[in-house]
């Protein structure tokens, strides 16, 4: 694993956020409302920020005060994206790479999502398809306080 940023964030209670790539429009507003509330707090939000809704959640967190932990399913950035650089400069960001490959694969995405589930004190799932790998992680994470906005039947 590789790290860039504030490693002390690992020792704080973390709110995990995950959402399937394919989702329902009805979960967008509850997810963004969740992000606005988290942005006001002191505890980090940990996510891959890879799906469209996860990216929208990150956009809501950036102007707030909460720290952010980004878990990559690929190698660490060679150049930090501008929106993340501001968080890094403010000591509000930790980037974790769970593998050393140039592109995200299905397997590496699962590893990064699994890392989030195993290292969060609370998990929020925006949307889960029963066919997705997130569904199995959701079921495995029953011992962690979780909230699910919606699931495809």
Tens-digit pLDDT string for the chain (153 aa): 899 999 999 999 999 999 887 777 888 899 999 999 999 999 999 999 999 999 999 999 999 999 999 999 998 988 999 999 999 999 999 999 998 888 988 888 889 999 999 999 999 988 887 778 888 888 777 666 666 665 554
Structure tokens at 31: 């997810």
Tokens of 62: 């950036």
Instruction: State pTM to two decimals.
Output: 0.91
Residue 73 to residues 16, 60, 98, 109, Cα–Cα distance (Å): 16, 22, 6, 5
And the tokens for 30? 């509850």
Backbone angles phi, psi at 89, to 5 degrees: -60, -30
Give residue 153's pLDDT. Answer: 43
Q: Which residue range(s) make up the domain with 117?
A: 2-152
Where residue 131 sits, what CATH number does that domain have? 3.40.50.450
Domain count along the chain? 1
- Is the C-alpha dihedral spanning 94, 98, 101, 106 positive or negative? negative
């Amino acid at each position: 694993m590789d790290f860039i940023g504030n490693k002390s964030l690992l020792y704080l209670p973390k709110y995990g956020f995950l959402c399937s790539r394919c989702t329902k429009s009805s979960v967008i507003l509850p997810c963004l409302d969740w992000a606005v509330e988290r942005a006001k707090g002191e505890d980090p939000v940990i996510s891959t920020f890879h799906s469209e809704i996860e990216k929208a959640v990150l956009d809501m967190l950036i102007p707030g005060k909460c720290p952010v932990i980004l878990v990559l399913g690929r190698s660490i950035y060679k150049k930090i994206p501008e929106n993340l650089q501001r968080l890094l400069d403010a000591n509000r960001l930790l980037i974790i790479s769970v593998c050393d490959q140039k592109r995200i694969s299905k397997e590496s995405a699962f590893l990064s999502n699994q890392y989030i589930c195993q290292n969060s004190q609370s998990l929020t799932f925006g949307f889960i398809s029963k066919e997705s790998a997130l569904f199995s992680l959701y079921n495995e994470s029953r011992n962690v306080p979780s909230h699910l906005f919606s699931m495809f039947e």
